[in-house]
Amino acid sequence: MKTVKITKMQGCGNDFVIMDYSEYEKTGMKMEVLAKKICDRHFGVGADGLIIPDCSHENSDADISWYFYNSDGSTAQMCGNGMRCFAKYVYDNKLVDKKAFSVKTLAGIIKPELLDNGLIRVNMGKPILEDKKIPFWGERKINVIDREFDITPVSMGNPHCVIITDDDPMKLAEKYGPKIETHEYFPEKTNTEFVKIKSRMEIDMRVYERGCGITLACGTGACASVVVCVLNNLTENKVKVNLLGGPVFIEWQGSKDNPNQDIFLIGSANYSFFAEYVL
């Protein structure tokens, strides 16, 4: 019987299986196939994604890199909650020897930092607002099923469609999220965030994630949502984002006149269990 060692972690309920590369090699499987198998909540471990650290010397432009796969076997350029879990995992397992380091991702170099209070602060880079780079091909209104929504496309290394609403964001995410994810406006599909403003310092957000469906949290989605709120003067530059799995804190000093500013995500990352997975 072949087994591999795995670690299960979660950030605000967004959960991941993390596996050392040496353990992955034992599986003899393609990563996308393994991701679908191990993330299955009925026949596998159950997770929103699979993360495999890469410590090879080829990553000279960063301290470490990762392989990240959604539960459907697709790759994602970035994942904020996954990055916090990854940062804690690689530091605790001595794959890096400093609390602030750089990670090579498909979205570029991301810089997490383990704080003394136990939280992880991640420099998520600069939001992308140019349609071609998101990528987004369409109008700022979208018609799905029986509704028309005003939308703002943003990329945080992965595409997002942000919708500000006074309605129940969870009900909207469940009903309209699947249709927006695959809408022709988004050639690489999209994450969709429904955002309700509570105050200038706090918002509620529910998300339908590309390749995952409804999830308890989305770090890049929280960042994209705050960018849209700030650009529309709906919130201040430091915002508490209430996700289904708990809160995260977003800081962005950007503005309409100066959007080219780094955005920071602050939140927790926690271990769920350590196990041996039977292949």
Decide if pLDDT at 60 tops 80.
no
* DSSP assignment letter at 127: -
Indicate if 218 belongs to the active site: yes
**Whole-structure pTM value:** 0.91
Task: Spot the catalytic one: 39, 161, 212, 218.
Answer: 218
Measure the CA–CA gap between 204 and 240, rounded to whole angstroms: 9
Measure the CA–CA gap between 68 and 262, rounded to whole angstroms: 22
Domain span(s) for CATH 3.10.310.10 in the chain: 3-115+270-278, 131-261
Q: What is the pLDDT of residues 81-99, one digit of tens each?
A: 999 999 999 999 999 999 9
28: amino acid identity, one letter: G
Of 3.30.1360.200, 3.40.50.150, 3.10.310.10, 3.40.190.10, the CATH number of 3-115+270-278 is: 3.10.310.10
> How far, in whole angstroms, is CA 234 from its chain's centroid?
23
Indicate if 85 belongs to the active site: no
How many Cα atoms occupy the beta-carbon half-sphere of 13 within 13 Å? 14
Helices then strands, each counted (H, E), the chain: 5, 18
Q: What is the pLDDT of residues 217-260, one digit of tens each?
A: 999 999 999 999 999 999 999 999 999 999 999 999 999 999 99
Instruction: Provide the pLDDT for residue 77.
Output: 87
Overall residue count recorded for the chain in this entry: 279
Element (H, E) at 148: strand 147-150
Task: Spot the catalytic one: 12, 39, 79, 229.
Answer: 79
Give 179's strand partners: none
Is the CB of residue 139 less than 8 Å from the CB of residue 132? Answer: no
- Which superfamily, per CATH, for 131-261? Diaminopimelate Epimerase; Chain A, domain 1 (3.10.310.10)
